[in-house]
């Protein structure tokens, strides 16, 4: 749950700016303006290395994400939710707070409008902000008892069939207890943050990000009785590929590995979390209403009267 941040913003002495690599385009001037704005406030500004390369601006201090994690007090991410997903996963071990500026389509995690970036950030640097933490998942793939792949996910871990293959059969265990064998196109294990992404499209519920849980959502299950289920955040889920061709496991659709028969994917909550900073008055429900177009219904009903 989001709560007012009582920490003085004077702790923000070094601010990192991270853009979407290769797609800055017309926003390059705005990023330079942002850097000038932050420096005028007496803050040290550093750019993520790929962003600095795209800007082609002299006298930039550029850093890798690992260096940003060790040195920056806060990171401003300019892009869409996909950009934020990748950055959040890499900065999670360093516990650097993230501010998202939306330059994409949806903006569930990048909630500051690009055209209002400077005045909103000015208020946030003055202490007018909200803070919340979001959970991540950790997934480990075992083959014949040996670990072959490991990654983290901010939205979801997805076990799925290949594009030209038939259904897969998955054996699912929770905390060492057999849950079911499932024939389907795959299975989504989602964080509350990811409940508004692929899991929602597959028929799963929306989980408030303040909840400590994760949701299992079957993808086009053969048996209609296979329904989404919300599990405790302390659960350890193991998915074994019993049968199926060209299968894989994806982490936020940004990293993946192929699966063979009897490979086991273990998923649990990560030890790391993400801290988001939002403008004062930010509400998760406002975000849902805007992004899912819930606000359209009153106007439709009004036209029917």
Classify residue 90 by burial, with Cβ atoms within 10 Å: 0-12, 13-18, 19+: middle
DSSP code of residue 77 = E
Describe the chain by its helix, strand, coil percentages, rounded to 5.
Answer: 30, 40, 35
Q: Which two tokens stand for residue 239?
A: 């998915």
208 phi, psi to nearest 5 deg: -65, 135
DSSP line for 23-58 = --GGGHHHHHHHHHHHHHTT-EEEEEHHHHHHHT-T
Tokens 């941040």 — which residue? 5
71 is catalytic: no
Give the count of beta carbons closer than 10 Å to the beta carbon of residue 212.
Answer: 11
Dist CA 41 CA 39 (whole Å): 5
- Whether the CA torsion 151, 200, 84, 190 is positive or negative: it is negative
Residues 6+ apart with CB under 8 A from 162: 245, 246, 247, 248
Residue 228 dihedral angles phi and psi, to the nearest 5°: -60, 150
Residue 230 has which token pair?
């919300």
Given the residues 71, 73, 81, 95, select the one marked as catalytic: 81
Tell me which residues are annotated as active site.
81
């Amino acid at each position: 749950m989001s709560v007012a941040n009582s920490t003085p913003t004077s702790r923000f002495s070094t601010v990192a700016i991270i853009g979407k690599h290769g797609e800055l385009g017309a926003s390059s001037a705005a990023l330079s303006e942002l850097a000038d704005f932050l420096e005028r406030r007496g803050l040290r500004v550093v750019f993520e290395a790929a962003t600095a390369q795209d800007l082609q601006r002299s006298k930039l201090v550029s850093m890798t994400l690992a260096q940003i994690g060790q040195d920056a007090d806060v990171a401003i991410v300019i892009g869409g939710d996909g950009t934020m997903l990748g950055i959040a996963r890499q900065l999670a071990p360093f516990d650097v707070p993230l501010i998202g500026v939306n330059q994409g389509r949806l903006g569930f995690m990048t909630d500051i409008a690009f055209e209002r970036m400077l005045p909103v950030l000015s208020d946030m640097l003055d202490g007018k902000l909200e803070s919340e933490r979001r959970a991540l998942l950790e997934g480990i793939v075992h083959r014949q008892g040996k670990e072959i792949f490991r990654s983290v996910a901010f939205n979801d871990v997805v076990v799925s069939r290949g594009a030209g293959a038939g259904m897969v059969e998955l054996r699912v265990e929770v905390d060492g207890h057999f849950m079911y064998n499932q024939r389907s196109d795959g299975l989504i294990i989602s964080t509350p943050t990811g409940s508004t992404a692929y899991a929602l499209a597959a028929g799963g519920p929306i989980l408030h990000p303040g909840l400590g849980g994760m949701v299992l959502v079957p993808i086009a299950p053969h048996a209609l009785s296979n329904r989404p289920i919300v599990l405790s955040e302390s659960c350890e889920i193991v998915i074994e590929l019993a049968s199926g061709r060209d299968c894989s496991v994806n982490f936020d659709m940004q990293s993946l590995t192929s699966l063979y028969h009897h490979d086991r994917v273990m998923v649990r909550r990560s030890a790391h979390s993400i801290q988001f900073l939002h403008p004062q008055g930010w509400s998760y429900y406002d975000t849902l209403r805007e992004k899912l177009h819930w606000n359209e219904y009153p106007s439709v009903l009004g036209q029917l009267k």
